[in-house]
């Protein structure tokens, strides 16, 4: 295991342990950001501060991009992409799908990803070109699943204008697939594709830190992750499934894209 991968795993475990220990005594300090759905707790911030402190203590010249703390510049060519709690609403309510997500980029390419799904005791890891693992066991996504038999995870962004349209998209997708799941954590959803717990995932409006680590886990499990028209995963659309299903879902979602002309 590379030193970068090991540091990512150690830090994701330490932040996860802190969050589990502190959650029961969490104060009522819950703030909202872009909308009433978009919550942030004091522990989102504490988790990111811990992660930043540990990374910079070990590697002071690295860059960090985190959801709560933004961009920290650096000179080493290594950048850490951090979501200190992915699935904050689940965390707040005591639901099990939330994770600490850390990706490592070298010269702009993600080379390692760690997603610690803390309440489940599940550590998803991936290394570029080497594979993806759950608690050390190799992962393969489901293959050769036709659209009508696909279990599809999705999520909804925090903008309430966007949500109304996302509801219309779900109404169009639901009759064409086996069923839909809304787990509440993009990182966990992508790891579920890697583990074969769902067949596909799509979401509009997510951010890089949501999918950076788990996207590598999914890709290294054999899944394709991308956006519309051959683009990489992005805020417009992040879609993930085994290659054949990816194409079918892409073609279903593309004309439903509310922002295709913007």
What does the binding site for Ca ion look like in residue numbers (CB under 5 A)?
67, 83, 85-86, 210
In the block, tokens 């959650």 appear at 23
What is the helix (H) or strand (E) element at residue 99, kind and residue range? strand 99-106
In 3D, which of 212, 19, 207 has the Cα closest to residue 102? 212
Helix (H) or strand (E) segment spanning residue 71: strand 70-72
CA atoms within 13 A on the CB side of 103: 26
Residue with tokens 């009508």: 148
Shortest Cβ distance from residue 22 to Ca ion (Å)?
Answer: 16
List the beta bridge partners of residue 127.
Answer: 112, 131
Please pick, from the candidates 48, 83, 105, 248, the single residue that binds ligand IPD as defined by CB under 6 A.
Answer: 83
Q: Is 157 in the site for ligand IPD (CB under 6 A)?
A: yes
Residues 19-38 that bind ligand IPD (CB under 6 A): none
For ligand IPD, the closer CB: 157 or 226: 157
Select from ligand IPD, Ca ion, none the partner in contact with residue 66, using the beta carbon and a kind-dependent cut-off of 5 to 8 Å. Answer: none
Q: Print the binding letters for residues 173-212 with ligand IPD: x by CB under 6 A, - otherwise.
A: -----------xxx----------------x-xx---x--
| Pairwise CA distance, residues 207 & 181, whole Å | 20
* Contact residues: ligand IPD, CB under 6 A: 67, 83, 86-88, 155-157, 184-186, 203, 205-206, 210
């Amino acid at each position: 295991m590379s030193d970068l991968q090991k540091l990512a795993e150690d830090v994701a475990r330490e932040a996860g342990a802190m969050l589990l220990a502190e959650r029961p005594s969490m104060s009522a300090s819950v703030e909202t950001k872009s909308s009433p759905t978009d919550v942030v707790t004091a522990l989102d911030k504490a988790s990111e501060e811990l992660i930043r402190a540990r990374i910079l203590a070990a590697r002071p010249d690295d860059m960090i991009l985190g959801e709560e703390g933004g961009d920290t510049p650096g000179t080493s060519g290594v950048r850490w992409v951090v979501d200190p709690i992915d699935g904050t609403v689940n965390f707040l309510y005591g639901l099990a799908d939330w994770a600490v997500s850390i990706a490592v980029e070298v010269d702009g390419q993600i080379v390692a990803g760690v997603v610690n799904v803390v309440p489940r005791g599940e550590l998803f890891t991936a290394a570029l070109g080497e594979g993806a693992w759950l608690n050390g066991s190799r992962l393969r996504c489901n293959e050769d699943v036709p659209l009508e038999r696909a279990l599809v995870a999705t999520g909804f962004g925090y903008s309430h204008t966007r949500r109304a349209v996302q509801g219309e998209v779900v109404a169009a997708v639901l009759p064409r697939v086996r069923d839909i799941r809304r787990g509440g954590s993009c990182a966990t959803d992508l790891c579920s594709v890697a583990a074969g717990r769902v067949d596909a995932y799509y979401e509009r409006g997510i951010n890089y830190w949501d999918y950076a680590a788990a996207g590598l886990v999914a890709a290294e499990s054999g899944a394709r992750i991308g956006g519309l028209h051959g683009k990489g995963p992005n805020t417009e659309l992040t879609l993930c499934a085994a290659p054949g299903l990816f194409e079918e879902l892409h073609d279903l979602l593309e004309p439903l894209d509310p922002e295709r002309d913007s």
